[in-house]
């Protein structure tokens, strides 16, 4: 099979790494890819959100199967365009991808299907939104309806902050059209977990859970980021919690989307709050998590490609996957300044030595090759990933590898998995 992976971050490196190991894959292309992906796939410079370019590439390369990594092309309809071109694809249609592309759409679906989530209302009018915020009080969460590159959520600690956020969004200049409508949502108290399940439109297959660290600095301080590290399994997300999540959240979602005439084919990524009353969902993503995918793939013992194909073909009903009991942990190395302004182009040394540490795999995110040199080319740059018998072993391996990487222009958190380890270092 000739396979194309769309995207060029750490998530896509982990997917390419897993797909390249499949005996079913005869040729692997990644567009646009990065310096690390280039070791396991041929990288071709077509942007992930260039829909026409990706379809043309899939055609000219005689691709049998496309795996779409990021949400932007999915929400824009890349899966539909590939399907129209007769090319099999892993990833939902634009209609089904609204589960991530419109927070209001997903919240209305939760309400309709009786899925546990925070109380909420949707607004386009500032005055009505302000009245609602004042009636509810703080803390309260304000969300731009559309995609906002992870920046569209404001967890407001005071009524005033919430009102400022609503004005920012609804006045139209903060997130453009993505902020022309907002969801105002109850603040949920608990620990966050990420859970993943494949859906073929009718059946769902549970994958595994993970925990991510969203804040930039140690101790979960500093600004929100795309994710600074992750680990799996997360002790809080045990087998009983997974079963409840499947029964109360994932399966009703798959049914509701099918009933609406927009069956979801791809991976459902549930952003969960584990509350006193059990799991509640605060958001869906229509793709694998980044960096969560970088800890899912190392724990997967089965061939991933047949599972992705069964998802696209509607054949998940009798499918099963085997997972390792070991812990996988990934630490993000980012360019200093991230998630705000940062510089590109600095050289990263020591990757060879670091990747020789037992159990370590280094997935590249924003990197670029320059001859034999590897240069930083983004905010999140590397995902130093390790597996080990325990979370301590995995963590020690990952940080031993990091200490061999010579990149003064980068930084990372030193406390990934502190919750699983029971305390902050
Ligand atoms: P997002 O940018 O959509 O990933 O959301 C950013 C973060 O906002 C999440 O990781 C949660 O920590 C937080 N969040 C979103 N919704 C809620 C909620 N209803 N209650 C508490 N925290 C939330
Ligand atoms: N890890 C956060 C995300 O993928 O959105």
| Pocket mutation for ligand 2, best pick of 7, 72, 212, 213 (most atoms within 8 Å of C-beta) | 212
For residue range 377-405, what is the model confidence (pLDDT) as tens digits?
999 999 999 999 999 999 999 999 999 99
| Pocket mutation for ligand 2, best pick of 285, 288, 295, 416 (most atoms within 8 Å of C-beta) | 285
| Residue of 300, 311, 290 whose CA lies nearest to 383 | 290
Banded pLDDT at 208 (limits 50, 70, 90): very high
Counting from 1 in the atom list of ligand 1, the atom nearest the Cα of 283 is 3
Q: How far is the CA of 291 from the centre of ligand 2 (A)?
A: 7
| Residue of 300, 290, 268, 308 whose CA lies nearest to 70 | 290
Q: Name the closest-CA residue to atom 7, ligand 1.
A: 153
Counting from 1 in the atom list of ligand 1, the atom nearest the Cα of 148 is 2
Q: Which CATH number fits domain 191-313: 3.40.50.300, 3.30.470.20, 3.40.50.720, 3.20.20.370?
A: 3.30.470.20
Q: How far is the CA of 122 from the centre of ligand 1 (A)?
A: 16
At the top level of CATH, which class does the domain 125-180 belong to?
alpha beta
Calculate the CA dihedral of residues 233, 235, 239, 244 and round it to 10 degrees: -110
Buried b (16+ CB within 10 A) or exposed e, 238-248: eeebbeebbeb
Q: Is 211 in the pocket of ligand 2 (CB under 6 A)?
A: no
**What local confidence, expressed as pLDDT, does residue 178 receive?**
77
Rg (CA), the chain: 21
The third-level CATH classification (topology) of the domain covering 327-421 is: 3.90.600
Counting from 1 in the atom list of ligand 2, the atom nearest the Cα of 226 is 2
For residue range 306-359, what is the model confidence (pLDDT) as tens digits?
999 999 999 999 899 999 999 999 999 999 999 999 999 999 999 999 999 999
Q: Is 227 in the pocket of ligand 2 (CB under 6 A)?
A: yes
17: its two tokens: 């790494």
Q: How far is the CA of 282 from the centre of ligand 1 (A)?
A: 7
| Pocket mutation for ligand 2, best pick of 147, 194, 196, 283 (most atoms within 8 Å of C-beta) | 194
**What local confidence, expressed as pLDDT, does residue 173 receive?**
75
Angle between helices 94-101 and 103-113 (to 10 degrees): 90
**What local confidence, expressed as pLDDT, does residue 424 receive?**
55
Average pLDDT along the chain: 95
CA distances from 422 to 150, 240, 392 (A): 28, 21, 11
Banded pLDDT at 175 (limits 50, 70, 90): confident
For residue range 92-112, what is the model confidence (pLDDT) as tens digits?
999 999 999 999 999 999 999
Counting from 1 in the atom list of ligand 2, the atom nearest the Cα of 194 is 1
| Residue of 328, 327, 331 whose CA lies nearest to 390 | 327
Whole-angstrom distance, CA of residue 242 vs CA of residue 236? 10
For residue range 288-300, what is the model confidence (pLDDT) as tens digits?
999 999 999 999 9
Extents of the domains making up the chain: 2-91, 125-180, 191-313, 327-421
Q: Which CATH number fits domain 2-91: 3.40.50.620, 3.40.50.20, 3.90.1710.10, 2.40.10.120?
A: 3.40.50.20
**What local confidence, expressed as pLDDT, does residue 392 receive?**
96
Q: How far is the CA of 60 from the centre of ligand 2 (A)?
A: 32
Backbone torsions φ then ψ of 257, nearest 5 degrees: -70, -35
For residue range 248-268, what is the model confidence (pLDDT) as tens digits?
999 999 999 999 999 999 999
**What local confidence, expressed as pLDDT, does residue 211 receive?**
95
Whole-angstrom distance, CA of residue 245 vs CA of residue 197? 10
Nearest bound ligand to CA 106? 1
Whole-angstrom distance, CA of residue 405 vs CA of residue 388? 20
pTM of structure: 0.96
Place of tokens 């990706």: 54
**What local confidence, expressed as pLDDT, does residue 325 receive?**
96
How much is the average pLDDT of 158-175? 87
Counting from 1 in the atom list of ligand 2, the atom nearest the Cα of 230 is 1
């Amino acid at each position: 099979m000739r396979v194309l992976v769309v995207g060029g971050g750490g998530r896509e490196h982990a997917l390419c790494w897993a797909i390249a190991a499949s005996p079913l894959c005869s040729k692997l292309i990644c567009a646009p890819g990065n310096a690390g992906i280039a070791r396991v796939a041929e990288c071709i410079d077509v942007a992930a959100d260039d829909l026409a370019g990706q379809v043309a590439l899939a055609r000219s390369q005689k691709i049998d199967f496309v795996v779409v990594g990021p949400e932007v092309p999915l929400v824009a309809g890349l899966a539909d365009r590939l399907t129209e071109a007769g090319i099999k694809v892993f990833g939902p249609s634009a209609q089904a991808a609204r589960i991530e592309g419109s927070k209001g759409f997903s919240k209305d679906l939760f309400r309709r299907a009786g899925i546990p989530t925070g109380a909420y209302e949707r607004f386009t009018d500032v005055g009505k939104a302000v009245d609602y915020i004042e009636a509810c009080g703080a803390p309260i969460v304000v969300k731009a309806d559309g995609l906002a590159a992870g920046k569209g959520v404001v967890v407001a600690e005071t009524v005033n902050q919430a009102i400022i956020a609503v004005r920012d969004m609804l006045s139209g200049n903060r997130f453009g059209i993505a902020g022309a409508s907002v969801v105002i949502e109850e603040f949920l108290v608990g620990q966050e977990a990420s859970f993943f399940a494949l859906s073929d439109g009718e059946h769902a297959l549970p994958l595994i859970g993970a925990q991510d660290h969203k804040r930039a600095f140690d101790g979960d301080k500093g600004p929100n980021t795309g994710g600074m590290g992750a680990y799996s399994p997360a002790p809080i997300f045990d087998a009983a919690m997974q079963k409840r999540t499947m029964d109360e959240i994932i399966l009703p979602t798959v049914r509701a989307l099918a009933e609406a005439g927009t069956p979801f084919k791809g991976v459902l990524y549930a952003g969960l709050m584990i509350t006193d009353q059990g799991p509640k969902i605060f958001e869906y993503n229509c793709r694998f998590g980044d960096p969560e995918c970088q800890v899912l793939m190392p724990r997967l013992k089965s061939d991933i490609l047949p599972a992705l194909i069964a998802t696209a073909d509607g054949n998940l009903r009798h499918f099963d996957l085997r997972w390792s009991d070991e812990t996988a942990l990934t630490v993000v190395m980012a360019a200093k300044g991230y998630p705000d302004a940062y510089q590109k182009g600095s050289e990263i040394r020591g990757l060879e030595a670091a990747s020789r540490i037992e159990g370590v795999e280094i997935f590249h995110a924003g990197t670029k090759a320059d001859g034999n040199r590897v240069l930083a080319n983004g905010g999140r740059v590397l995902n130093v990933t390790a597996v080990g018998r325990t979370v301590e072993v995995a963590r020690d391996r990952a940080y031993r590898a990091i200490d061999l990487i010579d990149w003064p222009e980068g930084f990372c958190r030193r406390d990934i998995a502190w919750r699983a380890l029971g305390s902050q270092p």
